[in-house]
Structures are given as structure tokens and as C-alpha cells.
Chain A
């Protein structure tokens, strides 16, 4: 048995990894979303409503929330087609804030007071979802579809010249990313058994992006590395007391100075997996 403290850290890592994966999937097509906390919020509130008010089992509630958020993601993906780079980042940031302020004013789900009544889920259940989705995305990375996603990221015009439908790829990625973020949100709600709009603000979106940038944005397991580091680093620095977060920030800057591409890149991942296969 692991202690409650370690179980909480493990659960937070799993949820953060799913959120980071949602950013990674969208980023793979060359689109940076700073609004994934919004999708996470939709998933958290919808899954909580479905389990607490409608009495549905959690797994079904998570699937339905993922589908609903996926559809919202597809809707958001259309205007995003016309935007690139920093402009797209700003637009998605606006979407995230819009979702947060919606739940802030949405009294049926508690408004600013938050929502509770969910049944606590185990770390094992969280990691079943987290591991499953990580394996799914890792397998997807070996498929033809992922090659199309990378081509869309590389050069959209060149991708359309080889017959790829870059519009469908980009919108699909938004939908899939939003669905994964919603699962993360639903699990967050049922792990903490209380949610409020502030849980899904801009700082959460930044945390998800940071996990991807830190862990590595070219392979899916980079999200796992980033999430574990973001959860564990501040904890291991507790001996520094008040200087803990300053030291954490310094470490982040140092890591990114040494490895701009993130800790885990395609080359390192290949080397690690080859070694494992060889031994």
C-alpha cells in the first residue's frame, strides 16, 4: 500500500499527463492551444453532473463528457483554421476564460461556490485511463494518420499537394485533444471531489503547455515526463521552504536552456526503446 500523500501525487501526475497529452495532440498539427483548461472544465462539470445529478456510472459519464467536449473542440477548431501562432494562442486563451466565467455565473452547478458530491476515485482508476490514452496516442504515432498530422505541421501547402486534407486533420486534432482534456477534467473532479471555476483558469492551461514543453513536444511520452516532473519537483524541493517555488522556476529555466526540445525527444525515445528491445 502507498501512503495517501504518494497516492495524491500519483493521481495528480496522471491527471496532468492527460491534460498535457491534450495539448500535445493539438500541438502535433502545429496549433498551440492555451485554452485546454476550458475543455478540462467542461469535462469536469459535465462528468460531475452526470454522476451526481443523473446517477450515471463514472466511466460512462467520462465517455459522454469526452464526446461532448470533443464536439466543442471541433466547433472551436473551425475558427482556429484562420489563425496561426500567437493569434491562435490568444484566441484559445479567450475561449478558456470564456468557459471559466461561464461556470462562475452558472448557478445550477454552484457558480462561484463550486460543486461537490462526487465519489472519490482511486489512483488505479485514474492511471487506467491515463495509461490507456498514453498507449493509444503512442500507437497512433506509428500510424499513417500521425504521419499526416506531422506533414500538416511541417508545411500545410506541401501536405495538401500530396492529397492530404489538412483542414480535417487540424479540426480532428482539436476535437481529439478536447476529448482527452475532458477526461482529465472528469478525473480531476472525481479525485478532488470538489470543483470550482478557478480550477480551470489560465494558469491550468499554462501548466498543461509547460508539461509538454518541459517533457518533450515530439513524442507522446514527453507528456508523462513533463507531468511527473511538474508534480514531483516542487515536492522534492520542500526542504528549501519559502524558496521552493523560486528554485523550481530556476530549474525549469536551466532544463530548457540545456534541452530546448524538452527532456524526451524523438532521438532519445528511440534510443531508450531500442535498448529495451535489444536487452
Chain B
């Protein structure tokens, strides 16, 4: 397994948010974390990214990751696109993207990747000299994902990438995430939009109150009557054509 999380616990002061989560992600997989508000999804990905102190163990390709070392984790190959996108609003689009390459030592390849990113997201090329805060929500999400990709991660953590986006833009983001599989990227996707998420994910974990209550192949979870009722509004996924992966 590429990422292995064992007995993860995270507390905010005296209040426990995550109570012993186990999860595993294999190379090239898209794994989803679904659950209601307050289930501990964001806390889990923040701990894996190194933004929060945690108990238990997190290993990447067998190497243990230390809590609270976001810069080191990024260099190890874990990039997080946080909830709210985490763009640098007072800097230009180009400066934001340049920042994404700063953790790399292969300057020439990084410059080529930057040019390639403008080909992939032409809207960012058009707005490259503008302030990032002036982009629309969807464009900011593109910028955040592009910036994370420029660090050439092996594991991409995406926290609610569709939050606050218009339906059309949200669909674009899900298609984009599904396309990352072709790049050989491994993705841990946190989402509330379970329908879209379970369509593109290989496997999923359902979190409730800081614990994993069930996990398995995404389509099998989608057929689970409780999950179908709670997260898919009672309309089974099997009736729809698969998209992305």
C-alpha cells in the first residue's frame, strides 16, 4: 500500500475529532472519504498532510510521516488542496503557480511543467498576471489543483474540491479528478457530494463521528441501502452509467 494509516487519533485541545481511523490507499487508486459534517474527514486529511499533530501512525511507502511537518510531507510526495482552496489571494496566478514548483530541485522540468499547466488550464494562462483573489470559485479551484500538481505529488489529497461551485463547474472538477488517474496519480478525495464521488472512486470509507463505519469498493458502497438512502437520496448509482473511472 502507498499510504497506510493506523489508529489515527486527532484532538483539538480536549475535544477528540478522530478516534482511531485505519485506512489504506494503493498506488494509482482514487479513494474517497465520505460522511456528514463533523465526521472528521477534513481533520483526517489535514493530519496526513502534516498540518495537525496526531496519534497513531501514517506511513508513505513504508516511511513513517511525522506529525505537523507539512513542508516535509510535500517533499515526500503528499500535496493537499485544502477546503477553501488555500490560494494566495494577494499574489498573481503566475506567482501562485510558481510557488507550486518551489519544493522541486529540477528547475528545468518544473518550468516545462508550468508551461504544460497553462496548456491544460488555458483560463489560467489568460489570467496569469491577475490577482488570484479575482478569479471565480471554479477558476480558483483549478489554480489550487494546478499548483498542487506542479509539486509533482505521488498522493494528492483533495478536500471538498466541489464546495461552493456551480453544478457545471463541480462536474468539471470531478472529471478533472477522474482524469488524474491517467497521470498515474493516487488521490484521496474528501467530498460531501457522494453521488459524484462514488462514481469516480475505486474505494470509499464512510466516516461518522471520527470513526470508519464502513469501507469497500465504491460501487458496492453505493448499493448499500443505508448509504444509498442517506447520501444518494434513495436513487441507486447502479441505474446510472459510470463516468470517469
Interface residues of A (CB under 8 A from B): 144, 147-148, 150-151, 153-155, 157-165
**Once bound together, how far apart are the Cα atoms of A37 and B132, in whole Å?**
36
> Do residues B71 and A157 form an inter-chain contact, with CB atoms below 8 A?
no
CA distance A125 to B244 in the complex (A): 68
- Given A157-B51, A157-B82, A157-B86, decide whether A162 and B100 contact each other with a Cβ distance below 8 A: yes
Q: List 30 A-B contacts (CB under 8 A).
A: A144-B102, A147-B95, A148-B99, A148-B102, A150-B95, A154-B91, A155-B86, A155-B88, A157-B82, A157-B86, A158-B82, A158-B86, A158-B87, A160-B70, A161-B51, A161-B74, A161-B79, A161-B80, A162-B100, A162-B102, A162-B103, A162-B147, A162-B151, A163-B71, A163-B74, A163-B151, A164-B71, A164-B99, A164-B102, A165-B71
The answer to whether the Cβ of B75 comes within 8 Å of any Cβ in the partner chain is: yes
Q: A150-B90, A155-B88, A155-B89 are in contact. Are A161 and B95 (CB under 8 A)?
A: no
A154 to B75 CA separation, bound complex (whole angstroms): 22
Query: Given the complex, which residues of A lie within 8 Å of B88, measured CB to CB?
Result: 150-151, 154-155, 158-159
Complex formed: what's the CA distance from A157 to B159 in Å? 14
**Chain A contacts of B74 at CB under 8 A?**
161-163
Count of residues in B whose CB is under 8 Å from the partner chain: 23
Residues of B within 8 A of A157 (CB): 51, 82, 86
Q: How far is the CA of A163 from the CA of B110 in the complex (A)?
A: 15
Does B2 touch A at the CB level, under 8 Å?
no
A-binding residues in B (CB < 8 A): 49, 51, 70-71, 74-75, 79-80, 82, 86-91, 95, 98-100, 102-103, 147, 151
Q: Given A144-B102, A148-B102, A151-B99, A160 and B71 touching (CB < 8 A)?
A: yes
Q: Please, which residues of chain B bring their CB within 8 A of the CB of A154?
A: 88-91
Q: How far, in angstroms, from A163 to B148 measured CA to CA in the complex?
A: 10
What's the nearest-Cβ distance from chain A to residue B47, in Å?
A: 14
CB closest chain-A residue, reference B69: A160
Q: Determine if B82 and A162 form an interchain contact, defined as CB atoms under 8 angstroms apart.
A: no
> 13 additional contacts, CB 8 Å, given A147-B91, A155-B86?
A148-B102, A150-B90, A151-B88, A151-B99, A155-B88, A157-B86, A158-B82, A160-B51, A160-B70, A160-B71, A161-B82, A162-B147, A163-B102
